[in-house]
Amino acid sequence: MKAERVALVTGAGGGIGRAVSLALLADGWNVVLAGRGVEALEQTAALAGERRPAAMIKSTDVADPQAVDALFETLRQRFVRLDLLFNNAGVNVSASPDELTFEQWNTVVSVNLTGVFLCAQGAFRLMRDQNPQGGRIINNGSISAHAPRPNSIAYTATKHAVTGLTKSLSLDGRQHNIACGQIDIGNALTPMAARMQTGVPQADGRIAVEPVMDVAAVARSVVFMASMPPDANVQTITVMATKMPFVGRG
């Protein structure tokens, strides 16, 4: 009989977080669904069908240290341990560097970087102290961890920073049997990416429609990463629409 496995997914109320949560539930995981909107989290849980009892909902602002502490305390009381964190919550603001306000910058950094750190820290502590020791953290990096889009300075800066955070967690986690990897996603079709189908700014100033892929491909990839044995890790993986304008010049 397979041991009970527990995963935490942030930003689970929609898009990539919802798809990954449902894929993990279907694969037999217990999943803690974290996000700011309870109604959206409940919709995700309802989509799990007969696996609904394996989902736990916890309203959380990942940028708030007290809220993250409460999330992990609730998780600990319910499940005792944590085997997987998918650090997925993120926001974006489109603005040129000269027009981006401090408030906008701070919002993106607080969620995309500080929030990722706070959740990773909570998971690291729990995985270090639990028995058996260890677990896995998967951070959502994005194609923007490699190359920017126009008017994305805050988002791109945080996603580049996530790469450094992932490497540090991967190194520091070794002595505690904690693996950390990163998935960089390009043009998965979610409500946030729907604009790709009507046209988005390109590096040369054009507005162009971009190819997209089914978000299920991302979900399958995260489940694959999560399925690795403790002595193996997918350090980085890029999952992208085959024909999107990332590889090459243009």
Domains and CATH numbers, the chain: 6-240 (3.40.50.720)
The question of whether 155 is a catalytic residue gets the answer: yes
pLDDT at 1: 35
pLDDT at 3: 67
**Going by C-beta distance under 8 Å and a sequence separation of 6 or more, which residues neighbour residue 47?**
18, 22
pLDDT at 127: 98
How deeply is 23 buried, as exposed, middle or buried, from its count of CB atoms within 10 A (0-12, 13-18, 19+)? buried
pLDDT at 250: 54
Residue 23 zone, left/alpha/beta (φ > 0; ψ -120 to 50; rest): alpha
**Do 182 and 139 touch, CB atoms closer than 8 A?**
yes
Torsion of CA 10, 162, 245, 212, to 10 degrees: -10
Cis peptide before 132 (omega within 30 of 0): yes
Active-site pick, 153, 155, 166, 169: 155
Per residue in 150-187, pLDDT (tens digit) is: 999 999 999 999 999 999 999 999 999 999 999 999 98
- The residues of the chain scoring below 50 in pLDDT are 1
CA distances from 41 to 17, 48, 158, 167, 224 (A): 10, 11, 25, 30, 23
Render the burial of 101-140: b for 16+ CB within 10 Å, e for the rest: eeebbebbbbbbbbbbbbbbebbbebbeebeeebbbbbbb
